[in-house]
Structure 1
């Protein structure tokens, strides 16, 4: 188990190293580059040369890369030029990351709460109305673009019916205490129930929109995996022994069906953490995704660097945790590692 974990960590570090090279090369290949982003149309040839020297862009490309890695390891990605001018990019990222994490966790929790029970029940009643409704619903969920669904939900539930806020993380008039940056959790910790409830109302709609694709994918994987397991000999043997439905479900069906589901959940969670750009933009959710969108628009290279690196690290870390969880779910993996 330990050797497996070490090998996976080394693979993670290799992925991050390759990504850093690609990110470094890609950002410097964009039209204009960092100098144009800082100077705009006001720069002269002299000022451009001075700024290139100050930024080290006049040095050989491999020196620039190692300087970039050294600064990144110390948390220095430069100062924001477009998203929040004058603020260190890392500080801006740390301020906005809890918002994206809160939204992503809420979305994956909504997806799991609905997809796994419905996927199991649909498999148990294969060909029934619930199975057919679930399949059609999952196809709709995976087919509708998130930005369109976000606008649709916002129009129906916020603008038309007035049930939920149209955007933001909390109402302007709420005087809430900030502890962790997770607004709902902060309200619960400080017992400011009005702040927690208000934050939860703001969170529900973007989380619902963002959960559509994870729900569809997890539902279909759960259904297919449960169907496969239910056809196995050991499940039929358990039934012939007279075991209760609950024992068969918990010990034989769900436990063995969860391995592909866990893999899917890990992939979807990583994707949510790194891809909530459209949802955050529609709902004015001040998270990392919104910062990434603004950074692209305004050519804010320091912010782009820290957000892309952090998103990739979140993705590979989530998948590392998924890989390590395999040994807990499937004893055969522990046996293989010992061998």
Structure 2
């Protein structure tokens, strides 16, 4: 993880300097400036230092928790992240809960019931997978916020309950695509488990069907479902930028979009590296939990080593 973060930090830092324009041009807001003024701005923000020097200085500050100073907001990036990160984490948590509950439940129903129910779930999940998050955001806003007035169309609200109410539509818009994907993965994994020998043996011993589904089919399918956890979280982290912008939510997704358009290098680099770190942490957790859900992973590794 340390090596991957190091490579990612170099890519994040270097990519910003490949973009057209410059921070100095933004700071001047289109006004003309003398060479002396440009030199003063470059010296203040270390823009005239060699690339390697700027990268090593930035990396050293990041390790110490210093994300630099925002060029747009004229304040510390760490303060911006502290104000906005909790909102984004709450939105992602709500969306993840919706994805896990709805996705696994729909996949289980489709695999167990079959027939018309299975076809209905497949059609519904096809629609969900084919609907981008920003399209879902517009549709949900128009129906439940504008027409019905059940939920607010923007903002984050005050207090826990009001914040949950404000984040409900964004969470559903963020989760819709992933619900369809997870339902299909769960359905396919359970159908594959139904054909395994141990399920046939359990049925032959007279084990009740509900216990067969819970202990032998669903539990074996959870290993496949869990491996998609990294993909689900990474998709949530990326799509939250579009959803937060559509619903005017003051999270790090909207902050990243605004900072990118204004070439606020320190803010973009800090948020990008945090997203990479969160994605890696989720994959590490999945790798650690997977042997607990499916012991065959550990047994297979030991067998391969032997």
TM-score bracket for this pair, using the shorter chain length = over 0.9
SS at match of 2:30: helix
Q: For residue 72 of structure 1, what is the aligned residue in structure 2?
A: 62
Alignment partner of 1:86 is 2:74: yes
Q: For residue 57 of structure 1, what is the aligned residue in structure 2?
A: 47
The two structures have a TM-score, normalised by structure 2, of 0.93
Q: Tell me the number of residue pairs that the alignment of Structure 1 and Structure 2 aligns.
A: 302
- Aligned partners of 2:87 and 2:250 also within 8 Å: yes
- Aligned partners of 1:263 and 1:322 also within 8 Å: yes
- Aligned partners of 2:174 and 2:239 also within 8 Å: no
Deviations 1:144-199, CA, capped at 9 Å, x for gaps: 121111111101111111111111111xxx5x4xxxxxxx3xxxxxxxxxxx2x22
Q: For residue 286 of structure 1, what is the aligned residue in structure 2?
A: 250
Cα distance, 1:104–1:283 mapped onto 2, change above 3 Å = same
Q: For residue 300 of structure 1, what is the aligned residue in structure 2?
A: 264
Q: For residue 9 of structure 1, what is the aligned residue in structure 2?
A: none
What is the Cα deviation at residue 336 of structure 1?
4.4
The two structures have a TM-score, normalised by structure 1, of 0.85
What is the Cα deviation at residue 231 of structure 1?
0.5
1:156 counterpart (136, 143, 149): 143
Alignment partner of 1:169 is 2:156: yes
Alignment partner of 1:98 is 2:98: no
Structure 1 gaps, min length 5: 1-11, 177-183, 185-195
Deviations 1:90-142, CA, capped at 9 Å, x for gaps: 2101211111111111111112111111101101123x121111111111111
SS at match of 1:78: coil
- Supply the distance in 1 between the matched residues of 2:39 and 2:18 (Cα, whole angstroms): 18
2:17 counterpart (18, 23, 28): 28
SS at match of 1:164: coil
Moved >6 Å (runs of 4+): none
Q: For residue 187 of structure 1, what is the aligned residue in structure 2?
A: none
- Supply the distance in 2 between the matched residues of 1:44 and 1:313 (Cα, whole angstroms): 41
Structure 2 gaps, min length 5: none
1:258 counterpart (222, 235, 249): 222
